[in-house]
Copies of this chain bind each other. A is one copy, B any other.
Amino acid sequence: MLTQTVEYALRAVAQLGYMAPELMKTSDIAERTKVPMPYLRKVLQKLGEAGIVTLTRGVQGGAKLQIPPDKLTLLEVVNAVEPVQRIRTCPLGLKTHGVRLCPLHRKIDNAFAEMEAAFRSTTLAEILAEPTDSPPLCESGKRVKLVE
């Protein structure tokens, strides 16, 4: 959970959130989010498959949010690129454990569960709206749409 790829996906979605419902081409997203552009393409494709963004080809093409920011949870974004791996059976393969995790693995899985819950209960809109000196992905005071 929470790999580099997830971080990239969250940045891209946050950036698209500013633009919503307009679209933005990949190279611009890459520049604003400081994600390597060729890799960002792959990430956006996964977000596309998950129905979170819509991708359009050709001139004037790009990506745009398919889900309104107040309906999109961070967990959906995370799961689109790298589903949270909860511990469901004993990682040692002990037969008698199975579904009933031992205290060690229960503890670990609980930590995952809490993280999952934290992301599930947070929408993109909340992230974008939160009052702060440091708006996501922007320099202070530049909390505006991309100007051409």
Which stretch, A37-45, A46-54, A59-67, A88-96, touches the partner chain B?
A88-96
Contacts of A119 in B (CB 8 A): 107, 111
How many copies the complex holds: the figure is: 2
**Does B115 lie within 8 Å of A14, measured CB to CB?**
no
A56 beta carbon closer than 8 Å to chain B: no
| Chain A, 89-148, CB within 8 A of any chain B CB | 90-97, 100-105, 107-108, 110-112, 114-115, 118-119, 122, 126-128, 130, 132-141
Can you name the residue of chain B whose Cβ is closest to the Cβ of A35?
B92
Name the distance in Å between A142's Cβ and chain B's nearest Cβ: 9
**Does A34 lie within 8 Å of B92, measured CB to CB?**
yes
**Does A74 lie within 8 Å of B118, measured CB to CB?**
no
- Complex Cα distance, B55 from A76, in Å, reads 45
Which residue of B107, B115, B127, B135 contacts A122 across the interface (Cβ within 8 Å)? B107
Which residue of B7, B105, B115 contacts A115 across the interface (Cβ within 8 Å)? B115
Chain A residues in the interface with B (C-beta under 8 A): 1-2, 7, 10-11, 14, 33-34, 74, 90-97, 100-105, 107-108, 110-112, 114-115, 118-119, 122, 126-128, 130, 132-141
